[in-house]
Structure 1
Amino acid sequence: MKKIAFMSLIASSVLMAGGYKIPETSTNAVALGAANIAHNQNNADAAYYNPAKMVFMSNENHIEADVTYIGLQKVKYNGTVGATGPYALESESENFLVPTLHYVSPVLGDNEARIGVSITAPGGLSKRWQTEPAKTSAQEFTLEIVEVNPTAAFKINDTLGFGVGFRIVRTSGVVKSSGTIGTPTPTTTASRDMTGDSVDFGYNLALAYKPTKALEIGVTYRSKVNLTIEGTANLATNFALVAPTTYNGASGVTVPLPASFNAAIAYTFASKTTIEFVYEKTMWSAYKELDFTYPTTLTNPVLSGAFDDPKAKNWKDTNTFRVGLTQELDTLTLMAGLVIDETPIPEETLGFELPDTNSVAVSLGGRYKINDKTDIGLSALYSMHDKRSVSSTVNDNGLNGEFTDGDILIVSVGLGYKF
């Protein structure tokens, strides 16, 4: 049971904000690989990426609506699971359309304060395996995370702005797993069908500093949000030596959407070419274990061992490095980006529900100014995931093989308007 653990599909999906995190929640962010923390392009997505930059924007209403396509390539696994195999397995491919919205107000009051709001999808997505033994732990997990982030910015002086925001995170998920397990007998089966949701809260802080016209510095912090997911669980097993063999009732789990820190510096040359460097630290070490709760004890050892016993996760903090390049022309702005990202998942707890690896992403995009009020943007990002070997001498899930593929394509189109 310990070798082929039944992982939480809800928790794994939530934590796809690390493995399949979605920092690119606007057209410009996709184009720049989210290297848009320091440089002010007078776009409404400043309300999300660095609300302190709002104090340096033109004095009018800014609004931007984006639609982003996210395509997840199939993940392949070749190797053994426990004492069985070898297997040649692959997950299903996944495709999503994600809308986002950003708004920045004109100047309010004598202190030149601004307010903004962003509605984004900072994490979630889905992964499905339809073949045993992968579907035993990861038949389906689908999770939606929507964040409403109202923000305010205050002008300290002509070179320094401060921003603060309130994170309202709405989470909903579906979990399914079913299959044959190796203990107590080779024909013992267990299944799970769960749904859950929650509304949870956090905050974010930001600084924007412009010591010169060419040099810009940005620092942001987004707090951890504990996702207190509650819902219902339908659990079943054919192991009838100990009753009951089913459970239908309430369940809950708390998992972290981790804190993150960004520090960025941007410089604009006389040619209107801007280069920005961003360092991001994501505090995934907050995810230490997975522990489901139920109002009653699961006395059947199969149900208890598969779905109730705490599972160690021991994720690690990660470092991400981003580079963004912007070239402003008369009516056209061209952008490109590079992202080098680490996985938070150690080899010991790697599983089918989130077979994450280190990755490198490249991006391109542009915005066209239709008139003084309206502009349109188009961008794309391709994230290339490394191969990852796993050894059963280390891995808690008994995996001994290699994960490959799993690349990600993101395409975004956005419309900006000022009034």
Structure 2
Amino acid sequence: MRILALSVIASVTVMAGGYKIPEVSLNGTALSAAYVANAHGADAAYYNPAAMINNEDANLLEVDTTYIGLSSIDFDGASDYSSKEENFLVPSLHFASKKLGDSGVRAGFSIVVPAGLSKRWENPTPKATAEEFTLETIEFNPSLAVALSDTVSMGVGFRVVQSEGVVKSSSATPTLRDMSGDSIDYGYNLALNYHPISHLSLAATYRSKVDLTIEGSAALRYLGSTYSGATSVTVPIPATLNFAAAYTFDTGTTVEAVYDRTFWSAYKKLDFEYGGTPNAATVAFGAPLAKNWENTNSYRLGLTQEYDKWTAMAGFAYDESPVPGSTLGYELPDSDAWMVSLGGRYQLDEHWNIGLAGLIDVKKSREVHNSSINGEFSNARAYLVTAGIGYRF
């Protein structure tokens, strides 16, 4: 099966701990995702739908494209080798409405890529378990916002995640695994925004877990045994809880701090199921793999400066890895990471604005000593460049 799930797990080796992608708009990239309490404009529909209440009374649309470049990851052990470099273009779209009638309710939606990417190896050792792990996801997230009082607003959304994935491995034993599959799965998100005073915004958001219930086909070979047929696997996109505070000074400077808790402990094992009568091939590739990932914290800081027609942004973040050393493999040689970002927008006229943002994600080197790996992973990097255009009508 296009083990989308395994791909999911194995794909995003940079970007964020595990395989989620929090940078899904121009502002998100420019601020290292420190963009919750100060979320505004079209992309508030995704980052904090409750904050749509504070938008100007107009329809707001934004279209972004993000280039993601993943460096090769070096491994230093009994032998030295590197993964392949990866390059991607990832689109996103956000919309937030003006007030709907006299109710003051706002509606919005986002189309984003919440998780994914890829990891590929050509050296025989990692190729035996992780020749290719690729995940492609797309999420459609409609949302509504309503004012509970002059200072408090609430938002609610519905997550629809479509996924496709590929898993391949091979060795001279001979063994072969070639699987593909897809899935459509569902979740929800909630948000609460509070303005105790005019310059201060406090927010809490929650995105539910989405279990990717992947089904597809597999071709397996293990020594003289083969299998060609159905396969399935379930892997979570974990729940995330954010607490954020943003303060705007009289100079037009906004400082935001975000605490991000991701519940990766939902990912306890990777267990592929196959149809038909078990044989050596399905047994070899079907044994459950312990993962035992850990819940993680991310700490984000964003700075926004408003000028007449310009908006300048900068961000900084520290992101923990959920992967314990005991279960870390070549498919996801993850580690803690630092992120730094810059970006800006320019207001062309009353309807149009354009912007550009960049982010660098630097993973720490990590020594791993477990039953299958004995060595050090290093030089993992991710480079993001997001270009966007916004329209007010």
- Do they fold alike, i.e. is TM over 0.5? yes
Specify the alignment match of 1:321 in structure 2.
Answer: 299
| Equivalent residue for 2:206, pick from 194, 197, 221 | 221
Quick one: distance in 2 between partners of 1:258 and 1:54?
Answer: 25
Quick one: distance in 1 between partners of 2:198 and 2:295?
Answer: 35
Specify the alignment match of 1:87 in structure 2.
Answer: 79
Q: CA deviation at 1:20?
A: 4.4
Paired amino acid for 1:32: L
Q: SS of the counterpart of 1:262?
A: strand
| Equivalent residue for 2:157, pick from 157, 165, 176 | 165
Specify the alignment match of 1:111 in structure 2.
Answer: 103
- Of the two, which has the highest radius of gyration? 1
1:18 to 1:298, Cα distance in 2 relative to 1, 3 A = farther
Quick one: distance in 2 between partners of 1:291 and 1:331?
Answer: 53
Specify the alignment match of 2:196 in structure 1.
Answer: 211
Specify the alignment match of 1:177 in structure 2.
Answer: 169
Deviates more, 1:290-299 or 1:408-417: 290-299
Q: Render the CA deviation track for 1:74-116: whole Å, top value 9, x for unaligned.
A: 001111xxxxxx1101000000000100001110132200000
Paired amino acid for 2:71: Q
Q: CA deviation at 1:158?
A: 1.5
Quick one: distance in 1 between partners of 2:11 and 2:87?
Answer: 17
Q: CA deviation at 1:311?
A: 0.8
Q: SS of the counterpart of 2:124?
A: coil
Q: CA deviation at 1:288?
A: 0.4
CA-based RMSD: 1.4
1:1-400 to 2 correspondences below 5 Å: 9-13=6-10, 18-40=17-39, 42-79=40-77, 86-180=78-172, 188-237=173-222, 239-240=223-224, 245-300=225-280, 303-391=281-369, 395-396=370-371, 398-400=372-374
Quick one: distance in 2 between partners of 1:281 and 1:221?
Answer: 10
Identity %, equivalent residues? 52
Give the unaligned 5+ runs of structure 1: 1-6, 80-85, 181-187
Q: SS of the counterpart of 2:383?
A: strand
Contact 1:78 1:88 in 2 (8 A): yes
Quick one: distance in 2 between partners of 1:328 and 1:123?
Answer: 31
Q: Render the CA deviation track for 1:327-377: whole Å, top value 9, x for unaligned.
A: 001110100000100000000001100000100000000000111111111
Q: CA deviation at 1:14?
A: 6.2
Q: Render the CA deviation track for 1:16-71: whole Å, top value 9, x for unaligned.
A: 6643431000001100001110014x420000000000011011100000000000
When the two structures are aligned, how many residues end up with a matched partner? 388
Deviates more, 1:316-325 or 1:369-378: 369-378
Q: SS of the counterpart of 2:99?
A: coil
Paired amino acid for 2:158: F
Contact 2:170 2:177 in 1 (8 A): yes
Paired amino acid for 2:28: A
Quick one: distance in 2 between partners of 1:63 and 1:173?
Answer: 30
Paired amino acid for 2:285: F
Quick one: distance in 2 between partners of 1:105 and 1:224?
Answer: 27
Quick one: distance in 2 between partners of 1:75 and 1:13?
Answer: 14
Q: SS of the counterpart of 1:349?
A: coil
Q: SS of the counterpart of 2:174?
A: strand
Quick one: distance in 2 between partners of 1:350 and 1:199?
Answer: 28
Quick one: distance in 2 between partners of 1:305 and 1:408?
Answer: 36
Quick one: distance in 1 between partners of 2:18 and 2:74?
Answer: 16
Quick one: distance in 2 between partners of 1:8 and 1:135?
Answer: 18
> How high is the TM-score relative to the length of structure 1?
0.90
Deviates more, 1:305-314 or 1:339-348: 305-314
Quick one: distance in 1 between partners of 2:186 and 2:107?
Answer: 19
Quick one: distance in 1 between partners of 2:228 and 2:266?
Answer: 30
1:76 to 1:201, Cα distance in 2 relative to 1, 3 A = same
Q: SS of the counterpart of 1:354?
A: coil
Contact 1:9 1:140 in 2 (8 A): no
Specify the alignment match of 2:377 in structure 1.
Answer: 403
Quick one: distance in 2 between partners of 1:289 and 1:20?
Answer: 15
Quick one: distance in 1 between partners of 2:18 and 2:92?
Answer: 21
Q: CA deviation at 1:175?
A: 1.2
Quick one: distance in 2 between partners of 1:205 and 1:369?
Answer: 31
Quick one: distance in 1 between partners of 2:94 and 2:343?
Answer: 19
Q: SS of the counterpart of 1:106?
A: coil
Paired amino acid for 2:380: G
Contact 2:17 2:337 in 1 (8 A): no
Quick one: distance in 1 between partners of 2:103 and 2:271?
Answer: 48
Give the unaligned 5+ runs of structure 2: none
